[in-house]
Amino acid sequence: MSNLAQDGEKLDRNRMSAQAPVSSPSPGDGPTPTHSVPLFYRRGFRRLLQQGLYIAATALLFWYVYDALNLREFGFGFLDDPAAFKVGNQWLTDVDGVTSSRIEMYLVGVWSSLRVVFVAILLSTLVGVAVGVARLSSNWLVARLAMLYVEIFRNTPLLVQVVLVYAIFLVGAPIIQEVVIIGDFAFISNRGLAIPWPVPNDGLWGLPDWFVGVWVALLIAIGAVAMTVRRTRQNRERETGQPQFANRWAFGIFAVGALVTFIVLGLPVSIDRPYVEGTRYLEGMVIRPEFAALTIGLTLYTGAFNAEIVRGSIQALPTGQTEAANAIGLSGYQRLTLVILPQALRQMIPSITNQYLNVNKNSSLAYAVLYDDLFRVAGIIQNKAGHALEMFFVIIVTYMLISLVISALMNFINSRVTRVGV
Amino acid sequence: MLFAGAALVAGAVIGACTSDEEQQQAQATEQQQQVEQQQQRAQPEAQVSGEPRGNTTQLVQDRGTLKCGVKQTQPLFGFRDDQGTVTGFDIEFCKAIAAAVLKDADAVEYVDASDASTRFELLADGQIDILIRTTTITSSRDMELDVDFAQTTFYTGQGFAVRKDSGINSTSDMANAAICVQTGTTTEQNVADHFTDIGLDYEPTGGLSQDVAAAFFEGRCDVLTADASDLASRIVVRDDADDYKILPQIISKEPLAPGVRDYDSDWKDVVNWVVHGLIRAEEIGITQANVAAMAADPPNTEVARLLGVPFGDGDVATLGFDVVDAQFIQRAIAAVGNYGEIYDREIGSAIERDCTLNALARPLPSEAVDCGPGEGGILYALPYR
Amino acid sequence: MSEQPPIPRPDQRPLPPAPGAGQRRIVLPPHRQRARRPRSVRVREWVRKNLFPSTAGTLLTLVAGAIMGAILVGVIVFVFFGANWEVITHNRWLLFAGGFPHEEAWRLWVSIAVVFALIGAAYGTWSSFGRRDHLFVLVVGGFVIFLMAHGGAAIWSTVYFLIAIGCMYLGYAATVWMPRETSTLRTLQQRIVGGLLAISLPIVLVILLVGGEVGPRHIDGFVLNLILAPVGIVGGVLLGIPLALGRASRMRSISLTCTAYIEIVRGAPLLGWLFVALFILDDVIGGDLIIRAMVVMAVFTGAYMAEYIRGALQALPRGQFEAAQAVGLTPTQSTRLIVMPQALRISIPPMVGQAISIWKDTTLVTVILPLRELKGNADSAIAQFEFTPDRIEAYVFVAVIFWIVAFAMSRISQRVERAQGVGER
């Protein structure tokens, strides 16, 4: 992070060593012999003085702020009190606000935010890559369309996009009484989109629900095996030059393994199909309009920025790469996925990471579309209990933690990408 | 300067605390701190910077404008017209108070308090002098928050709006219904409590009042819950108003009253008696049209007293206010009319008044059986004397 | 993040050869010049090459054409048949200036004229109007005039707006004649126009607020966006420079506190800081909420600007520092004369990106604070009886307005980049 500071120190040392043999010290801030110079003009003393003054000023400022904030009642005890409000848009959780505490409600809000952030990051990356590549398309119409998208969504406020998406969805989608059924398994209305969803069940042998966890664990193990096989086959292919069909093997192993364990464990998972009863969806998974509006808004907005990053990274590649790929007879798709994108990836990861962090922070716009994310729940708690400073502290720590996790993941990916010779 | 004051007091506290040396007993320290706290309570302006409190009347008069926190997104009660002017039922009371205190009904600065979650902070912060924003008096707000309530300007209760074809007739039909509810309000808590009491579950969608209303009308929710007056105001402006109904079931009392800061009884008195004065004016038949004539030639002593003019050869009977002059109610009536006129002008077309809580109380139960125009409620001005 | 060199902005094309800029046009000898084919042939060739190169390409074109056609038809149907634009035309004053006193409206017009004239002068000094710029002015100006003219009684505001546009061209004409070679006069011109630009914000604030009965509380509607964003941007840059230098400082205490400031501010969303402005800052700085909003905007932008400037500092070649040392400049001098000018120039593209971002973020003040900017007043407009169903129209209009300014900003920044020669070394 503070490369420059280190650079500066290095620079300092270099200069000192370079100037050491020179007998007459240069004016300014070169190293000066200490004996003849008054204390006040010595560099070390000056620096000490400056820092001292700076620290004193900062401390004064802090003291003033601390003093003004009047922290007599500072404490987090209020978070354990009963919440007395409900939050909507819960998924996998069912916390009623009556008996649960405020901190539980806040965690529900955090979970809601995380879902939005995760989905928006995923979708905005896909949109970004697709549009970024499309902008460089030799097809005039496609390139124009991509440019239109980028220029529109990059230059309008996210808040307006989100409320607009929400308003359009509410007006555009049919009301629940006229719900549209897609292929007999999905429903769409302005109450949301209901889709089938896997749920654990007793299965053939009447095993308890948690047994689905065993199956998931087995799946992970099989996946690991498949990946190992893939890598060894890839290595062999590289050594021998004979095609080893690494991907096919890996996929086959995984598919067969998953199927066999699924049957052996007695079909522990079934697919829940949604249906409409009265004015509500039952079973399945329901993607609520609020979640959809926020996620789509974030996706479109961030996607436009990602597209520019992808485009810039591709353009930064030497043209020789494209020409070489053409020369060895790769198709357009192969050229893109095997040559261009893997190389552009290295260039784009730092900027893309920044966009992901923005997605995290921008998810707070849920405040404007009736989605109960962490910021909104914190606002409700603050409205009921006061303690604005504590709530803000909680909010900022939460956002920073999520940012840290995203940064750490992206750093990990970055290290993989830059290490592996693509 | 205010910072300096706050810093001085804080410095005094700290000085007092740190000067307690070890020979002093802990008890003494505690006592001292309690004293300090009491002192701070007595001088609340020391705790909160921003603008001094404790004498909002003086502050408003010195400033020359009244900062009024109002809603700007609710039809009938508080909204903005195409020229950016704020209008509505609540705004009339801002004008009346400005006319009473500042002798100028237009000397009002309207501050947006549309977001229910932040409105009390605006008051505590000194951003507004008075909050007239369909705000319910509740015990916890009165006690916990830095807000004090004056005379209620509108009585309502929490109701439920549904589509007529939804088949919902009471809350017992609302099992697992999607309910749109405004966050940061009493309605949010009431509905949660009510559904706990009747043992049903529901799926809430919460947000700003205008957002949840829009979502409801688009069909996002089965039920919209808010103050019955709020529901009426949002339904009546629609072309398809006939497709909706407000259930007769009312699950709470919602007296909507102007809010002022705590520890400011003078200011609260002024607000209080302006509202009462407007109601009294309706009771005794003083209107915007005849107030000047009445003031020139008061028919009886009470009218003279209310309008602050001498009756016959007598002196002006002051009502004992030293912060405003005797004619403050006369000016308020001249500016906006009496309570009934305000009601008819702003919300009368949409919300029935006769025989509701917002009508005048009957003079005596034996005298009238049917409700006359504007009668049959509980609106009852306290005596001016 | 900012360690990376800034990614070239989208439409950054190579500098078009300026007439008389010393670039020679290459003229091929006659036997190598291809005969100019007829226009129809050229068009046909272009179409084949760019739209129908192969079967897959044709398919792609058809799909893209279908999407584009659907969007176009949808937009046309919505704009001309589906939408009720009366919510906008009826409320144009509410959306534009809200509670700004009518009798003081001349202050707005004078400010707009001043800003327009400065924009024109800046264009005349460092760039020139192209055909596209005239088109942009024509389209946007026509759009604004259409809005104002709709419903009568607005003839004077239309006239004032035309005068403002006239001021822009006047400012342009006053500066564009100057030869581009470096000369004393040219330097003077650049200094004057640059200085005026730098103090344009205080000038506008003086015009708006001094004398008369306009106070900060009257700044409302779109005018609030127009004031808040420049305050945030200018304040952000002014704050960002010392922060960046502080973070790069060798003194531990300074670099630590600056780093902490930058990272903490960047850690929370702007909504969170506006929350602080409302609930927490009242005990610390007090004052009008619009002032607090400005402070928060500047504090927030400052952290981001600092990161961009720091990135630029790191991107400077080591030799620049060493050369400054070698010629005997003190650290202050080398920072002021050598390092900062270069760093600021390198960081123009990301800083403009941040400026556009803060422009868009001015919509957020309504969400938390009781300030009503354009989006907030659009919410008020759709609370009026007759316009409650027109939410989409109102929001689309808000989006279009923000788009126009953001787009103009990005285009102007490209001009600035080109004029400053960013990315050319």
Q: What is the pLDDT of residues A349-364, one digit of tens each?
A: 989 999 999 999 999 9
Please report which helix (H) or strand (E) contains residue C394, including its range.
helix C391-420
Nearest by Cα to A131 from A301, A310, A296 = A310
Judging contacts by C-beta atoms under 8 Å, the chain C residues touching residue B79 are 380, 383-384
Q: Look at B6 and A68 and tell me if their CB atoms are within 8 Å.
A: yes
The whole-chain average pLDDT of chain C stands at 85
Taking a contact as any Cβ pair under 8 Å apart, which residues of chain B between 152 and 191 contact chain A? 166, 176-178, 183-184, 188-189
Report the relative pairing of strands B203-207 and B244-246 from DSSP bridges: unpaired
| Nearest C-alpha in C relative to A357 | C267
Nearest chain C CA: its distance from A43 CA (Å): 12
Task: Give whole-number Cα distances, A255 to A12, A15, A199, A262, B218, in Å.
Answer: 61, 64, 20, 10, 45
Under the banding of pLDDT at 50, 70 and 90, the label for residue C34 is low
Judging contacts by C-beta atoms under 8 Å, the chain C residues touching residue A61 are none
pLDDT tens-place string over residues B302-352: 899 889 888 887 777 767 777 788 889 999 999 999 999 999 999 888 888
- Mapping DSSP to helix (H, G, I), strand (E, B) and coil, where does residue B132 land? coil
Q: Look at B84 and C217 and tell me if their CB atoms are within 8 Å.
A: no
Provide the whole-model pTM: 0.85
Rounded percentage of chain B residues whose pLDDT exceeds 90: 39
Residue B21 has pLDDT above 80, yes or no: no
Cα distance between residue B184 and residue B190, in whole Å: 11
Note whether B154 and B132 are within 8 A (CB): no
Judging contacts by C-beta atoms under 8 Å, the chain B residues touching residue C389 are 238-239
Q: What pLDDT was estimated at residue A292?
A: 93
Note whether B384 and B277 are within 8 A (CB): yes
Q: What pLDDT was estimated at residue A284?
A: 81
Cα distance between residue C4 and residue B87, in whole Å: 54
CATH architecture of C218-425: Orthogonal Bundle (1.10)
Nearest by Cα to B120 from B141, B139, B137, B140 = B141
Question: Can you read off the two tokens belonging to residue A264?
Answer: 């052996």
Cα distance between residue A341 and residue C42, in whole Å: 34
Nearest chain B CA: its distance from C166 CA (Å): 27
Taking a contact as any Cβ pair under 8 Å apart, which residues of chain B between 48 and 107 contact chain C? 48-50, 69, 72-75, 79-86
User: Which residue has 């009471």 as its token pair?
Assistant: B170
Tell me whether residue A400 is in a domain.
yes
Task: Give whole-number Cα distances, C223 to B66, B228, C305, in Å.
Answer: 23, 36, 24
| Nearest C-alpha in B relative to C87 | B82
pLDDT tens-place string over residues A320-360: 888 888 898 888 888 888 888 888 888 889 899 999 999 99
Residue A17 has pLDDT above 70, yes or no: no
Residue B263 has pLDDT above 80, yes or no: yes
Question: Can you read off the two tokens belonging to residue C254?
Answer: 């300074």
Q: In the beta sheet, which residues pair with residue B204?
A: B179
Question: Can you read off the two tokens belonging to residue A32?
Answer: 């000066």
B44 inside 8 A of chain A by CB:
no
The whole-chain average pLDDT of chain A stands at 84
Q: What pLDDT was estimated at residue C21?
A: 45
In total, the C-beta contacts within 8 angstroms joining chain B to chain C are 99
Under the banding of pLDDT at 50, 70 and 90, the label for residue C25 is low
Q: Look at C372 and B214 and tell me if their CB atoms are within 8 Å.
A: no
Q: What pLDDT was estimated at residue A184?
A: 80
Q: What angle do CA A366, A370, A376 make, to 5 degrees?
A: 55
- Mapping DSSP to helix (H, G, I), strand (E, B) and coil, where does residue B110 land? strand
Judging contacts by C-beta atoms under 8 Å, the chain C residues touching residue B350 are none
Per-residue pLDDT, averaged over C53-68, amounts to 86
Note whether B324 and B270 are within 8 A (CB): yes
Note whether B182 and B207 are within 8 A (CB): yes
Q: What pLDDT was estimated at residue A69?
A: 79
Q: DSSP assignment, residue A339?
A: I
Cα distance between residue C402 and residue C359, in whole Å: 8
Note whether C406 and C356 are within 8 A (CB): yes
Beta strands in B72-132 (DSSP E): 73-74, 78-80, 86-87, 108-112, 130-131
Q: Look at B84 and C279 and tell me if their CB atoms are within 8 Å.
A: no
Residue A243 has pLDDT above 90, yes or no: no
Q: Look at B192 and A85 and tell me if their CB atoms are within 8 Å.
A: yes
Cα distance between residue C1 and residue C307, in whole Å: 9
B158-252, CATH topology level: D-Maltodextrin-Binding Protein; domain 2 (3.40.190)
Per-residue pLDDT, averaged over C145-161, amounts to 75
pLDDT tens-place string over residues A392-422: 999 999 999 999 999 999 999 888 887 654 4
Q: Which chains border A (3 or more CB–CB pairs < 8 Å)?
A: B, C
The superfamily in CATH containing domain B56-155 is Periplasmic binding protein-like II (3.40.190.10)
Cα distance between residue A46 and residue A29, in whole Å: 11
Q: For residue B316, count CB atoms less than 10 angstroms from its CB and return exposed for 0-12, middle for 13-18, buried for 19 or more.
A: middle
Q: What pLDDT was estimated at residue C111?
A: 93
| Higher local confidence (pLDDT), A366 or C146 | A366
What's the first-to-final CA gap in chain C, in angstroms? 21
| Nearest C-alpha in B relative to A189 | B220
Judging contacts by C-beta atoms under 8 Å, the chain C residues touching residue B2 are 286
Cα distance between residue C295 and residue B357, in whole Å: 47
Rounded percentage of chain C residues whose pLDDT exceeds 90: 36
pLDDT tens-place string over residues A295-314: 999 999 999 999 999 999 99
Cα distance between residue C395 and residue C407, in whole Å: 18
Cα distance between residue A365 and residue C207, in whole Å: 35
* Residue of B220, B221, B224 for testing the chain A interface, max A β-carbons within 10 Å: B220
Task: Give whole-number Cα distances, A305 to A316, A340, A348, in Å.
Answer: 17, 19, 12
Taking a contact as any Cβ pair under 8 Å apart, which residues of chain C between 216 and 245 contact chain B? 217, 220-221
Judging contacts by C-beta atoms under 8 Å, the chain C residues touching residue A168 are 392
Sign of CA dihedral A287, A292, A298, A304: positive
Judging contacts by C-beta atoms under 8 Å, the chain A residues touching residue C314 are 3-4, 7
pLDDT tens-place string over residues C250-290: 888 899 999 999 999 999 999 999 999 988 887 787 778 88
Q: Look at C399 and A403 and tell me if their CB atoms are within 8 Å.
A: no
Note whether A91 and A109 are within 8 A (CB): no
Beta strands in B16-142 (DSSP E): 66-70, 73-74, 78-80, 86-87, 108-112, 130-131
Residue A193 has pLDDT above 50, yes or no: yes
Q: Look at A191 and B204 and tell me if their CB atoms are within 8 Å.
A: no
Nearest chain B CA: its distance from A153 CA (Å): 23
Nearest chain B CA: its distance from A100 CA (Å): 13
Per-residue pLDDT, averaged over A21-43, amounts to 58
Nearest by Cα to B204 from A94, A178, A100 = A94
Note whether C403 and C394 are within 8 A (CB): no
Q: Which of A176-180, A327-331, B9-13, C291-295 has the highest mean pLDDT?
A: C291-295
Cα distance between residue B363 and residue B355, in whole Å: 14
Nearest chain A CA: its distance from B28 CA (Å): 19
Q: What angle do CA A393, C363, B91 make, to 5 degrees?
A: 95
Rounded percentage of chain A residues whose pLDDT exceeds 70: 90
Judging contacts by C-beta atoms under 8 Å, the chain C residues touching residue A388 are 275, 279-280
**CB neighbour list of residue A170: distance below 8 Å, 6 or more residues apart:** A190, A289, B214, B215, B218, B219, B220
CATH number at residue A113: 1.10.3720.10
- Residue B317 CB coordination number (10 Å): 18
Per-residue pLDDT, averaged over B237-242, amounts to 87
What's the first-to-final CA gap in chain A, in angstroms? 27
A65: Cα separation from own chain's centroid: 34
B45 inside 8 A of chain C by CB:
no
Beta strands in B172-292 (DSSP E): 178-182, 203-207, 223-227, 244-246, 254-256, 259-260
Judging contacts by C-beta atoms under 8 Å, the chain A residues touching residue C261 are none
pLDDT tens-place string over residues C369-401: 888 899 999 999 988 888 888 899 999 999 999
Judging contacts by C-beta atoms under 8 Å, the chain A residues touching residue B215 are 170, 370
Cα distance between residue C167 and residue A74, in whole Å: 56
- Mapping DSSP to helix (H, G, I), strand (E, B) and coil, where does residue B206 land? strand
| Higher local confidence (pLDDT), B10 or C201 | C201
Give the number of domains in chain A: 1
- Residue B198 CB coordination number (10 Å): 13
Ordered DSSP codes for B303-333: HHHHHT---TTS-----S-SSS-TTHHHHHH
| Nearest C-alpha in C relative to B217 | C389
Under the banding of pLDDT at 50, 70 and 90, the label for residue C151 is low
Judging contacts by C-beta atoms under 8 Å, the chain C residues touching residue A51 are 251-254
Nearest chain B CA: its distance from A119 CA (Å): 21
Phi, psi of B375 (to 5 degrees): -125, 170
Judging contacts by C-beta atoms under 8 Å, the chain C residues touching residue A29 are 330-331
Nearest chain B CA: its distance from C387 CA (Å): 9
Note whether C343 and C334 are within 8 A (CB): no
Dihedral in degrees, nearest 10, Cα atoms C316, C318, C320, C324: 140
- Mapping DSSP to helix (H, G, I), strand (E, B) and coil, where does residue B245 land? strand
Q: Look at A380 and B184 and tell me if their CB atoms are within 8 Å.
A: yes
Report the relative pairing of strands B73-74 and B78-80 from DSSP bridges: antiparallel
Q: What angle do CA C339, C342, C348 make, to 5 degrees?
A: 130
* Residue of B112, B121, B244 for testing the chain C interface, max C β-carbons within 10 Å: B112
Query: Which among A3, A158, A399 is the nearest to C360, CB-wise?
Result: A158
**What are the extents of the domains in chain C?**
38-82, 102-213, 218-425
Question: Over the range B72-82, which residues count as b (16 or more CB within 10 Å of their CB) and which as e?
Answer: bbbbbbbbbbb
Cα distance between residue C315 and residue A274, in whole Å: 56
Cα distance between residue A316 and residue A314, in whole Å: 5
| Nearest C-alpha in A relative to B204 | A88
Per-residue pLDDT, averaged over A79-98, amounts to 81
Tell me whether residue A382 is in a domain.
yes
Note whether C385 and B79 are within 8 A (CB): no
List, edge to edge, every strand of the sheet that includes B66-70.
B108-112, B66-70, B130-131, B259-260, B148-149
Q: Look at B219 and A170 and tell me if their CB atoms are within 8 Å.
A: yes
**Residues spanned by the domain of A368:** 56-135+289-422
Q: Which chains border B (3 or more CB–CB pairs < 8 Å)?
A: A, C
B125 inside 8 A of chain C by CB:
yes
